[in-house]
Amino acid sequence: MSRPRILVTRRWPAAAEAALAERFDVTFNEKDVPLGLGQIRQALADYDAVLPTVSDKLPASVFERDIRTRILGNFGVGYNHIDIAAAKAKGILVTNTPGVLTDCTADIAMLLLLAVARRGGEGEREVRADAWKGWCPTHMIGTKVTGKTVGIIGFGRIGRAFAQRCHSGFGMNVVFYNRSKINDDEAERYGALQLATMEEVLAASDFVSLHCPGGAENRHLMNEARFATMKPGAFLINTARGDVVDEMALISALEAGTIRGAGLDVYEAEPQVPEKLKAMENVVLLPHLGSATAETRTAMGMKVVENISAFFDGREPPDRIV
């Protein structure tokens, strides 16, 4: 019996690629660049499984023709780059990789919070430019983190891991907004208090960190009105998805001093980042590094292998979305 044909749209860590190659007839994207819509459409016609990443766009239009693909094994936990309804309508099963990137993404959120509060990006640029004139009592004064209030939007795995770091590691007060009610005892494990509305969290917080899914439901969750609700000296942290933030509204809020700064790991039109954001000293910008450790990226690949192996063995994939 022939092995299922699999397309991997980007290169993975070697161990994960080897695990795939042991089980399947695998084609790797040797150029390791995002595939265009035409290439994705052709892949769906040619392969039994396609394993996309966040850099691959799968709108409804790629599912319009005859399709051979039976499963999309997404390399990542977020899947707003895939039109799930269109895939489901074609009978395609979709999986993701939850759990394994929780700690690393929470770490990046903490890195951004500290960097923007203590002006780490500005300081490093100054040193590299040979512009530092030496220690001075009033030089590059930042914001203390300990004792401040952090507001978390979305209290899933990553939101909770971030709350734990903020509360237990830095003595911060934690409030959060979540669409569903979280058990009080569970929230208390993370030193966190659930508030009834997102606006209450924004108004109470010195730092606001986004940990909610992307996609149509949460597109531009952070908009002009919600930036106006934040404290004037507050900071925004986003390690969720770029489309959760209206970037033009963010730029306006930063320019007007409505908020003090931002730390971003994700963007609306990755890899494009607005020039105005890049020019701002009070913004720390990272190139989508949330899960970028060897351990996590390998574990993500192994999750995909587990999901598609289960599918082709006739078992239920453990991380099925639809």
DSSP 278-306: HH-TTEEE-SS-TT-SHHHHHHHHHHHHH
Q: Which two tokens stand for residue 135?
A: 């220690």
pLDDT at 235 over 80: yes
For the entire predicted model, the pTM comes to 0.96
Residue 207: helix, strand or coil by DSSP? strand
Q: Average of pLDDT values for 281-307?
A: 98
Q: Average of pLDDT values for 262-285?
A: 97
**Catalytic site includes residue 211:** no
- For residue 133, what are the contacts with CB-CB under 8 A and spacing of at least 6? none
According to DSSP, the residues that pair with 194 across neighbouring strands are 176
SS3 content of the chain, % helix, strand, coil (to 5): 40, 15, 45
Q: How far apart are CA 41 and CA 35, in angstroms?
A: 10
pLDDT number for residue 262: 98
Q: Average of pLDDT values for 230-242?
A: 97
Q: Average of pLDDT values for 269-292?
A: 97
Distance of CA 183 to the CA centre of its chain: 25
Q: Average of pLDDT values for 44-48?
A: 98
pLDDT number for residue 27: 98
pLDDT band of residue 302 (cuts 50, 70, 90) is very high
The tally of CA atoms less than 13 A away on the side-chain side of residue 133 is 5
- For residue 168, what are the contacts with CB-CB under 8 A and spacing of at least 6? 191
pLDDT number for residue 217: 93
Domains of the chain: 5-96+293-313 (3.40.50.720), 101-285 (3.40.50.720)
- The chain-wide mean pLDDT, for the chain, equals 97
Element (H, E) at 49: strand 49-51
**Catalytic site includes residue 68:** no
Q: Average of pLDDT values for 41-70?
A: 97
pLDDT number for residue 207: 99
pLDDT number for residue 73: 98
pLDDT at 74 over 90: yes
Q: Average of pLDDT values for 220-241?
A: 98
Q: How far apart are CA 132 and CA 119, in angstroms?
A: 14
Catalytic residue among 5, 270, 306, 320: 270
**Catalytic site includes residue 270:** yes
pLDDT at 1 over 90: no
pLDDT band of residue 39 (cuts 50, 70, 90) is very high
Distance of CA 129 to the CA centre of its chain: 31
Catalytic residue among 241, 247, 260, 297: 241
Helix axes 14-23, 294-312, angle to 10 degrees: 10
pLDDT tens digit sequence for 85-98: 999 999 999 999 99
pLDDT number for residue 245: 98
pLDDT number for residue 277: 98
Characterize the bridge pairing of strands 261-264 and 235-238: parallel
Q: Which two tokens stand for residue 256?
A: 């007007």
